[in-house]
Amino acid sequence: MSLQKGQSLSLTKQNGESLTNVRLGLGWDSAVPAKKGFFGGTKTVEIDLDASAIMFDADGKHLDTVFFNQLTSKDGAVRHAGDNLTGAGDGDDETMMVNLPAVSPAVQHIVFVITSYSQQTFDMVQNAFCRVIDDSAAGSPEVARYSLTESGRNTAMVMSKLSRNGNAWTFQAIGTPANGRTAGDVLGAAASAL
């Protein structure tokens, strides 16, 4: 299902059961035209963006962050697959796996952000997206996708969030511009998305 900015989707199967293991894939491409190389070839401008997951409690208090320097949450439920330094290639550039039943009961929201450590701005980025994959189902089907349409001189983006309601989780597309090199720089913007 393709979501628009602000839309939400309940992460439940058709039989009413909640999804258990989801993967969030984030991807992007360079919007900067390839440059002619010294020997006549072309060189694509590399865009180094970093995906992070910021966890909050019901009162909006920051509890934990998963990013390129801390690849696993304190409760072990959120794991980052590693840093992609270029954005090159098709598909997901960075992924995070979330074991929903294992998320600490204190965590009410998991906000996913993208930041530009090298301060490249989102007007240099195209085809940015966030998608949810159901890793608990055979074939790992895509459940939802949010394609970012905004760009600008911002160096970060609050992409989406997972929110808990009892034992069920909801995915919401956000797409709010922010500025910062790391997840720590955008804690306020992420908290504003709650």
pLDDT higher than 60, residue 89? no
Question: pLDDT tens across 19-34, in order?
Answer: 899 999 988 877 766 5
Question: Count of alpha carbons within 13 Å of 14, Cβ hemisphere only?
Answer: 2
Calpha distance 26→83 (Å, rounded): 11
CA atoms within 13 A of residue 126's CA, in its CB half-sphere:
5
Tell me which CATH code domain 2-31+45-192 carries: 2.60.60.30
**φ, ψ (nearest 5 deg) of residue 84:** -105, 120
Name which of 60-64, 88-92, 131-135 the model is least confident about: 88-92
Which pLDDT belongs to residue 17? 82
Least confidently predicted of 92-106, 124-138, 165-179: 124-138
> What average pLDDT does this structure show over 114-120?
87
The share of the chain scoring above pLDDT 90, in percent, equals 50
Global pTM reads: 0.88
CB 129 within 8 A of CB 109: no
Instruction: Give residue-wise pLDDT tens across range 52-74.
Output: 999 999 999 999 999 999 999 99
List, for residues 135-186, the tens digit of each pLDDT value: 988 889 999 888 887 778 999 999 999 999 988 999 999 999 999 999 999 9
pLDDT grade for 86, boundaries at 50, 70 and 90? very low
Average pLDDT over residues 104-123: 92
Task: List, as one string, the DSSP characters of 23-87.
Answer: EEEEEEEE-SPPEEPTTS-EEPPP---EEEEEEE-TT--EEEEEBTTB-B-TTS-EEE----SS-
